[in-house]
Homo-oligomer: A and B are copies of this chain.
Amino acid sequence: MLCVGKRLVRLKGFQKLTSVDKALQMFLSQVPPKKIGIEIVPLTSALNRVLAENITAEHDLPNFNRTAVDGYAVKAEETHGASQFKPKKFLITEKHAVETKQAKQVWTGNPIPKGADAVVMLEYTKRMGDEVEVWTQVVPGENISKKGEDISKGEVAVKARTRLKPQHIGLLAALGFSEIKVFEKPKIAILATGNELVEVGSSIKEGQVFEVNRLVLSALCRELNAEPIDLGIANDNVNEIRDKLEFGAKVADAIITTGGTSVGAFDFVPEVVDKLGKPGVIVHGVAMRPAMPTALAIAKEKPILVLSGNPVAAIIGFEVFARPLICRLLGLEKEEHRPVVKAKMTKKVATALGRKTFVRVHVFQRNREFFAEPISTRGSGVISTMTKANGYAVASENRQGLEKGEEVLVYLFDDVDLVG
């Protein structure tokens, strides 16, 4: 009877679903602030790390006046009146200085030779042996990248909390930095629960399934450059789950579990999480599809995401709840979204009123237009729908579907094909 009673309590929990936005806000607002550790890495290992300090230029960039174009460096005043009909002639010098009526050939990036104060573009010149004809007049400073033009000394070149892409690494290198401070990668412990689960690579019996979620969630963490920690598979056993969660809370910055979060007889992960520490479960049951039986919790000062055991729901749960959390733990200034594209629905899709629905679509590009073809799904568990799709569109709670021809925003998790 006690068992039945408990089950009823849990069933009750789902009679009131929380909206996605509210759930996320309730959860993130209670995640304890944490000082993120800092490490120093060489610039060669800085790709996709998050910068932990403002990088201020210690010198001007460029640190000398240089030409912004290919052409001839001259004294600007000596070009006065030059035109295609009235070209001016200059003697070409090979020295690093320009004297009266001299020009020096320069290539983009070269220092401006002494005595010169402008560059005439190659297109407006004609070389004739040791001389060059100039067909246009230039003003002082023309076609010159001034010292400090790119970044001036003391200026913030790259802000703290920026994800370092190749171009940031280039700018930091140009300023002479060979190593920088970055935030430590957050550690995300991942636990799968379920008596039916078998480790990939083992043999399988009817009723058993290979455990997929730890591999997928680890890969999703790695895409964000967070560090997954594998807590393995736990049986549907309170003690086993609790022990693994306690270990996870010790070694990681956040925990993600999968399975045992619905309201079935063996679904007691939210209960175990709730007993782990205060405040415990903050939300259980979200008005969304898939991933409705998601719970968001905090215990032992660690955020815990209790995701569905269904692989598709686990992925969507990760995208919606783990992604913003991990972006914060990475030290990023704001959530990093997947690339978004606006695409026209090729077909109508029905969705349930009151549920934010994540519709898997295949986006393709044809004649500069983007189209989103919904992937037909029956159970949300069909994982091949995720490999057929390359993104998802969102139908809000107040919608009963997405119309054919409607323009939707699609969040892309794979490449877009160019068709036709």
Contacts and interface: CB of A to CB of B under 8 A. Distances in A.
Interface of A: 11, 43-44, 47, 59, 61-64, 66-70, 94, 105, 107-111, 127, 145, 149-151, 157-158, 163, 165-171, 173-179, 200-201, 204, 206-207, 209-213, 215-220, 222-223, 262-265, 267, 308-311, 315, 336-337, 339-342, 365, 368, 370, 378-384, 386-387, 389, 409, 412-416, 418
A167 B107 contact: no
Nearest to A43: B215
Contacts of A145: 378-379, 381-382
A48 to B, nearest CB: 8
A8 B109 CA distance: 21
A376 B339 CA distance: 24
A126 to B, nearest CB: 11
29 contacts: A43-B200, A47-B219, A63-B204, A63-B209, A64-B206, A67-B379, A94-B265, A105-B264, A107-B264, A108-B379, A109-B209, A110-B264, A111-B207, A145-B382, A151-B384, A157-B387, A167-B383, A167-B413, A170-B213, A170-B311, A170-B386, A171-B384, A173-B215, A174-B209, A174-B212, A175-B210, A337-B416, A337-B418, A340-B416
Contacts of A178: 200-201
Closest 7 pairs between A and B when the two form their complex, measured CB to CB: A68-B379, A178-B201, A339-B339, A166-B219, A167-B386, A170-B216, A107-B264
A90 to B, nearest CB: 17
Contact of A108 (B67, B204, B336, B381): B381
A216 B416 CA distance: 25
Contacts of A151: 384
A416 B337 CA distance: 8
A109 B309 contact: yes
Residue among A11, A62, A379, A412 with the highest chain B CB neighbour number at 10 A: A379
Contacts of A368: 342, 409
B166 A220 contact: yes
A175 B111 CA distance: 61
A223 B166 contact: yes
A180 B386 CA distance: 20
A141 to B, nearest CB: 10
A39 B188 CA distance: 29
B170 A212 contact: yes
A127 B11 CA distance: 10
Contacts of A216: 166-167, 169-170, 173
B43 A167 contact: no
Contacts of A204: 59, 63, 176
A378 B109 contact: no
